Amino acid sequence: MLNAVRRSSRDALPGALLACALTLTLLGATPISSAEVAPGCGLDGCPPPDDDGGGSDADAEDGRVSVEVWGSGTDGGDDGRFTIPRETVWVLPACRYIPGLTGKDYYEMIDSGDLDRWSDPHTGEVYEPYEDYETYKDDDEGRWWYGACFSADFDGDVHEFFDHSERFFTDYDGAVFVEMNEEPPVPPVPPEALVDVAFDHMQLPDPEISWNPKRSGDGATLVNVETWVWMEGGPVQVEVNAAAGGNTVLARAELRSMGFSAPSAEPIICEGTGTRWSPDAESECILIFGRSSANRPGLTTPVTAESFWTVDWFANGEPQDPLDPQTTHAVVLIPVAETQTRVTVETKRR
């Protein structure tokens, strides 16, 4: 795996290196065309941070960022609204801060003149030391944290990765010194990364189904009789929020329709969740079973119920392109009995 660390501008990367690179590590400053390179890094990559984390939070040694996740929903039954408890999860942004040298090591490297090798003789650019680096010349515990972008952690093609990196370094203010037991800087977390977190926490339930007629005792319906089917309670809308790095997203899933199918009935699609049976109600969500389940395993007919969800999302309150629709499904076993018919024969007396 190759890491390109010399420059953060796409035009400065040799074509052969770009073609074969599986991971491009772009270490930049402001602007992106005048990149800041972490001392100790080369074409073989950057050395891993020490185990002590260099004054950063233990959970953020590799640049991970905490994301707050919470939500709510609407129940289709009698429960009304419900809440999704707040929790913290950790994500690894493609562009993030990672730990480098201690204050003392960095000062000694500057003082030795070793950093001159990071200057670019082709462009005449001279490496500029971190601002206020002399302030931390005796600190052998705190570390400098600098910006880096890793294509291996980016969900997209190389051109999208370069665009993403350029946006990161446009607002990048340079390396930050983090003393022992202090929190490292939090990079901007793009909405596209946050919506993935929100979507992963959007646990859409499998549908729970009821039907009518439902015979007392075994719950059987009847052959060639209109059997109403509907979702019995459960969420019909779920909203999940995710916030980190100055951005907040909301992902919203809504149950739009349901589908029902069975081996001995024509499949149907119903708007909404169907209608609970009552003497005065009307419904178009109806199955008609053509044969009984007397000869089927378990003496029941399997009915597959599917819930079709649309998923929209918002970045900092602004609507975005919809996410892929989602489908959940469940199989309910319904006994189907023959209709009982009584025939009366009258005879004449002689």
233-275: pLDDT as tens digits:
788 999 999 999 889 999 999 999 999 999 999 999 999 999 9
pLDDT at 248: 97
Residues in the chain where the model's pLDDT stays below 70? 1-61, 77-79, 115-116, 340-350
pLDDT at 81: 83
Reported pTM: 0.71
List of residues 6+ apart from 241 with CB closer than 8 A: 68, 69, 70, 71, 198, 248, 249, 250, 251
Take residue 308 and report the two structure tokens written for it. 């079709």
Instruction: For tokens 């890491």, name the residue.
Output: 3
pLDDT at 237: 93
d(CA 330, CA 206): 6
pLDDT at 252: 97
pLDDT at 54: 28
Percentage of the residues of the chain whose pLDDT score is greater than 70? 78
Q: How far is CA 226 from CA 45, 263, 274, 290, 320, in A?
A: 69, 16, 14, 11, 42
